[in-house]
């Protein structure tokens, strides 16, 4: 492959995963026991031992039916409708002599109705089948023999096959990474289809296989992997690799999951360990639920009522018929002589009047069957299909930039759109664009950046202060700037004091230099040089990180290369000269949601050891040294201002380290990295904690996650229509509240009820290690806050004030418990807006279920990522946004749209008309 080995880079010192020979501890002792019994024969899937195990093939299907199950399953779906079941009974009876009309006139309409509906189901399933066929027939290079890799269909892969996956290809099954185009055998993986996250994840192979860099090296490769059985947990894996007589541990760091994509890496070699239905992504998928609209359920009730009337009429008729028949031959007289009761069959026999009455009852059931109109169902099906076409063809819901129209994926929920009472929405990527822009920063206690965010406009407007004074001047600057310079993705910063190297004239130029240098160095991004233009772009693990590197480049500190153990920049020195500098990279202490910070340790050209660190204000300020808090007060004020403006903030700090301290730290760090046990992460964190202290503050950054076009207006319209909107997000509370104001969810004069369980007392209890006491304290605190909120609700109802409820993720865990959820829901329903922060995908689904089942009103869930799938499937109507986060949400939705703002037209125009047409 061209350029296959162009990036021989040593990343072992950069990334915190095991690169030495690790020890076996903890979970690895379970291998071979129940739940850990899988054995994979690498490069020998056809061997006798492998055939005994009979593992599943790699064929996958997402269809509702197969050829064998289509008729039974589809017929069951049809006869769930009461009317269809009734007509089936009538059709069976029409073949008996009881029938007052020919069988054809009864059977034909039923066959047409059921045939048409089954045809619609078949077409919808056929589309899924085509998608499956496309996936199963994708090609991947597989090792045949003698080091030759041939393209093979995904569905032909077996457990134990060695495959070569190339850049931007999807992984065909769950693989164990053996080696890659990087000398250190690392690779970058995009897991958007699995967890909705757009950032890249870093994976690394075991040292023992990392030298297998070319096709020929697999000619005689044989190994055995023993690992856990197939399960749904995406983030755990326990296994061991036996090569020769040695055993090497395997962890999630070596696991590449099906449906994730290889990025920034020319190729990888991997061995297939889970195929088809055993893969983690398929284990996580749920059967598509069968949703029925309320009109359909109401029609069933009407049919029950009409059936009761029908039975009543038939019973009364048959009783009178029986009495008349019994008296037909009284005293030898024939009253109904035309029926010839003296020479008749059982139907009119006066001597068996009771039997005649029963048979007459069955005839009457068929005769009066027109009370229940079979044609109504046909009309409704036709109307629903036509309405779906109206939605699909609506130009007002077509998004030109992405070329995506609206798409009604199921036609039986259209009329529900007009009845929606509560909308449950995701935030990132649904209300916002999920593209970060560097807009402001605070350096050495001075705030830089003139940009005005959507949130600031809303903030200034709601505070009632005129924006006129500052806007023209700033907007003039912004406009002028835009004329001079084309807009750069991720960079929306305007401030002449720093731009065009004017920062050299600022009072704290040395601090600004360190600040910009930190932005250019403290990250795990990879530079990509465009062959034609020579322009450098960056692939980063998160959109925030990309924005920082781009900002550093635009302000004169351009990161352009990672080599074996160094990172290289073009930067300005304090005399204003542009110089090339290289920094020796020693360690990267990675970001995690628990640590809330990341650091790099490096050595500069003068031989000084530096630690550069960026992280959340909550963890950074407590790690500052006594002599490092010079600008702390001003920086805190700026951070609060930025948070009020809806911006995401990070604090930047650094320290110098002496040689002895670093040597001691590095020994402990390497030791912690090479341990394989459950507490490995904790040990790494403990070592990192010991060096990330006594920092000197440089400043803070602020990036904006921009709102999608038209979101505030859309939410405003929906609120006017009396629809309640809940936002369920994984973001922190401050950001969620600010976005709430920006998109008109929270309004001026609204009273906020905040349920937050992170009190100092609760935190102290948690740190003491008594989990039961901590849980009880958290629950009591949540209950108390809900009770206070309900009191406030009662008083506000009298004064007709609008309330907003804001809940954090930990409180939500307790609020959803069986004995609390009713009180929580009562409070939430009384509020005009509800925002749930830091909520997990499972919590999103649970909240949706709670609202749907307890209120009985129609719920609509809208989201764009795989983490919203549970919520979309749980709601009465699931709307997927075909945005940047893969197609998982769209595949699980009932209706797909390209932008949140189209929801207004979907509900208020199409919903209204669909309901009206169906009702008529």
- Residues serving a catalytic function are 426
Return phi, psi of residue 899, to 5°: -140, 150
Judge whether 426 is annotated as a binding position. Answer: yes
Using an 8 Å Cβ cutoff, are 399 and 899 in contact? yes
- Side by side, the strands of the sheet bearing 246-250 are 38-42, 223-227, 239-243, 246-250
Q: Could you tell me the two tokens for 68?
A: 């064998």
Tell me the C-alpha distance between 672 and 19, whole Å: 11
Tell me the C-alpha distance between 740 and 725, whole Å: 11
Angle between the 374-393 and 912-919 helix axes, to the nearest 10 degrees?
Answer: 160
For the chain, give me the number of helices (H) and strands (E)? 28, 35
Those residues with Cβ within 8 angstroms of residue 826's Cβ, 6 or more apart along the chain or in another chain:
790
Judge whether 709 is annotated as a binding position. Answer: no
Instruction: Using alpha carbons, list the distances in angstroms from residue 530 to 5, 323, 523.
Output: 18, 96, 21
| DSSP secondary structure, 71-128, as one string | HHHHHHHHTTSHHHHHHHHHHHHTTSTT-SS-HHHHHHHHHHHHHHHHHHHHHHHHHH
Judge whether 428 is annotated as a binding position. Answer: yes
Tell me the C-alpha distance between 191 and 178, whole Å: 19
Those residues with Cβ within 8 angstroms of residue 344's Cβ, 6 or more apart along the chain or in another chain:
none
Judge whether 867 is annotated as a binding position. Answer: yes
Judge whether 481 is annotated as a binding position. Answer: no
Judge whether 591 is annotated as a binding position. Answer: yes
Query: 718: part of which helix (H) or strand (E)?
Result: helix 711-720
Burial (CB < 10 A; 0-12, 13-18, 19+), residue 3, is: exposed
Tell me the C-alpha distance between 329 and 911, whole Å: 64
Judge whether 427 is annotated as a binding position. Answer: yes
Torsional class of 869: left (φ above 0), alpha (ψ -120 to 50), beta (otherwise):
alpha
CA-based nearest residue to 894, from 426, 415, 408, 382: 408
Tell me the C-alpha distance between 286 and 87, whole Å: 33
Return phi, psi of residue 4, to 5°: -60, -35
Judge whether 844 is annotated as a binding position. Answer: yes
Return phi, psi of residue 717, to 5°: -60, -45
CA-based nearest residue to 35, from 191, 190, 227, 314: 227
- The Cβ-side half-sphere exposure at 852, using a 13 Å CA radius, reads 21
Judge whether 648 is annotated as a binding position. Answer: yes
Using an 8 Å Cβ cutoff, are 831 and 757 in contact? no
Beta bridge partners of 569: 559, 581
Tell me the C-alpha distance between 847 and 612, whole Å: 41
Judge whether 545 is annotated as a binding position. Answer: yes
Tell me the C-alpha distance between 908 and 860, whole Å: 13
Judge whether 756 is annotated as a binding position. Answer: no
Query: 385: part of which helix (H) or strand (E)?
Result: helix 374-393
CB-based burial, 753-788: b 16+ in 10 Å, e otherwise: bbbbbeeeebeebbeeeeeeebeebbbebbbebbee
Q: Which residues are annotated as a binding site?
A: 426-428, 545, 591, 614, 648, 729-731, 838, 844, 864, 867-868
Annotated binding site for Mg(2+): 426, 428, 864, 868
């Amino acid at each position: 492959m061209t350029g296959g080995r162009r990036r021989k880079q040593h990343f072992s010192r950069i990334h915190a995963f095991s690169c030495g020979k690790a020890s076996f501890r903890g979970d690895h002792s379970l291998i071979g026991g129940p739940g850990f019994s899988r054995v994979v024969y690498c490069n020998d899937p056809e061997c006798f031992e492998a055939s005994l195990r009979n593992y599943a093939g790699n064929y996958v299907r997402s269809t509702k039916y197969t050829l064998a199950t289509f008729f039974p399953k589809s017929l069951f779906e049809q006869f769930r409708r009461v009317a269809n079941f009734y007509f089936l009974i009538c059709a069976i009876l029409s073949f008996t002599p009881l029938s007052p009309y020919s069988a054809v006139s009864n059977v034909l309409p039923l066959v047409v109705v059921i045939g048409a509906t089954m045809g619609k189901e078949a077409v919808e399933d056929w589309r899924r089948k085509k998608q499956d066929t496309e996936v199963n027939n994708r090609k991947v290079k597989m090792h045949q023999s003698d080091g030759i890799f041939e393209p093979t269909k995904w569905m032909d892969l077996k457990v134990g096959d060695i495959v070569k996956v190339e850049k931007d290809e999807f992984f065909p099954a769950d693989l164990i990474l053996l080696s890659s185009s990087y000398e250190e055998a690392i690779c970058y993986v995009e897991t958007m289809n699995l967890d909705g996250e757009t950032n890249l994840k870093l994976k690394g192979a075991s040292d023992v296989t990392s030298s297998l860099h070319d096709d020929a090296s697999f000619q005689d490769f044989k190994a055995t992997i023993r690992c856990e059985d197939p399960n749904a947990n995406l983030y755990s894996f326990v296994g061991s690799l036996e090569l020769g007589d040695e055993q090497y541990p395997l962890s999630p760091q070596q696991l590449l999951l099906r449906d994730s994509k290889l990025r920034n890496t020319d190729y990888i070699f991997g061995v297939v360990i889970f195929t088809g239905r055993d893969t983690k992504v398929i284990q996580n998928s749920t059967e598509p639920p069968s949703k029925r609209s309320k009109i359909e359920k109401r029609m069933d009730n009407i049919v029950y009522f009409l059936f009761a009337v029908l039975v009543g009429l038939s019973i009364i008729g048959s009783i009178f018929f029986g009495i008349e028949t019994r008296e037909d031959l009284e005293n030898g007289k024939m009253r109904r002589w035309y029926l010839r009761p003296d020479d008749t069959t059982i139907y009119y026999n006066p001597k068996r009047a009771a039997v005649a009455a029963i048979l007459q009852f069955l005839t009457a059931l068929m005769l009066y069957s027109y009370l229940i109109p079979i044609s109504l169902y046909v009309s409704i099906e036709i109307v629903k299909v036509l309405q779906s076409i109206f939605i699909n063809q609506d130009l007002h819901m077509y998004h030109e930039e992405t070329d995506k129209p609206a798409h009604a994926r199921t036609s039986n929920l259209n009329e529900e759109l007009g009845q929606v009472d509560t909308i449950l929405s995701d935030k990132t990527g649904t209300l916002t664009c999920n593209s970060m822009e560097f807009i402001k920063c605070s350096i050495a206690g001075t705030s830089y950046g003139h940009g005005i965010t959507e949130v600031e406009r809303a903030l200034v407007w709601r505070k009632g202060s005129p924006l006129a004074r500052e806007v023209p001047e700033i907007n003039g600057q912004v406009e002028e700037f835009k004329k001079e310079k084309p807009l750069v993705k991720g960079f929306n910063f305007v401030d002449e004091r720093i731009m065009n190297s004017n920062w050299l004239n600022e009072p704290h130029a040395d601090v600004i230099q360190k600040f910009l240098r930190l932005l250019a160095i403290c990250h795990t991004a990879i530079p990509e040089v465009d062959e034609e233009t020579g322009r450098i772009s960056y692939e980063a693990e998160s959109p925030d990180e990309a924005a920082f590197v781009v900002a550093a480049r635009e302000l004169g500190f351009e990161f352009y290369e990672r080599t074996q153990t160094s990172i290289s920049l073009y930067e300005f020195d304090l005399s204003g000269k542009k110089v090339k500098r290289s920094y020796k990279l020693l360690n990267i202490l990675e970001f995690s949601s628990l640590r809330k910070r990341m650091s790099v340790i490096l050595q500069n050209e003068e031989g000084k050891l530096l630690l550069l660190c960026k992280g959340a204000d909550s963890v950074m300020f407590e790690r500052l040294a006594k002599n490092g808090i010079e600008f702390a007060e001003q920086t805190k004020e700026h951070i609060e201002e930025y948070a009020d403006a809806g911006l995401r903030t990070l604090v930047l700090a650094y320290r110098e380290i002496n040689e002895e301290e670093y040597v001691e730290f590095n020994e402990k760090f390497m030791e912690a990295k090479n341990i394989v046990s459950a507490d490995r992460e904790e040990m790494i964190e403990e070592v990192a904690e010991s060096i990330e202290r006594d920092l000197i503050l440089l400043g803070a950054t602020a990036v904006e996650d921009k709102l999608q076009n038209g979101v505030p207006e859309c939410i405003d319209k929906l609120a006017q229509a009396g629809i309640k909107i809940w936002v369920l997000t994984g973001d922190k509370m401050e950001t969620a509240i600010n976005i709430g104001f920006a998109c008109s969810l929270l309004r001026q004069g609204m009273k906020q009820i905040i349920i937050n369980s992170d009190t100092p007392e609760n935190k102290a209890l948690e740190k003491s290690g008594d989990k039961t006491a901590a849980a009880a304290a958290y629950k009591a605190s949540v209950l108390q806050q809900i009770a206070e909120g309900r009191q406030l609700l009662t008083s506000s109802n009298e004064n007709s004030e609008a309330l907003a409820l804001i809940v954090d993720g930990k409180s939500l865990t307790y609020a959803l418990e069986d004995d609390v959820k009713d009180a929580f829901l009562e409070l939430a329903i009384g509020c005009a807006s509800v925002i749930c922060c830091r909520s997990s995908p499972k919590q999103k689904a649970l909240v949706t279920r709670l609202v749907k089942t307890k209120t009985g009103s129609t719920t609509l869930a809208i989201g764009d990522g795989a983490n919203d799938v549970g919520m979309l499937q749980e709601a009465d109507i699931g709307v997927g946004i075909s945005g940047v986060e893969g197609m998982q949400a769209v595949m699980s939705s009932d209706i797909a749209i390209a932008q949140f703002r189209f929801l207004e037209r979907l509900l208020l125009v199409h919903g209204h008309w669909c309901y009206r047409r169906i009702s008529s």
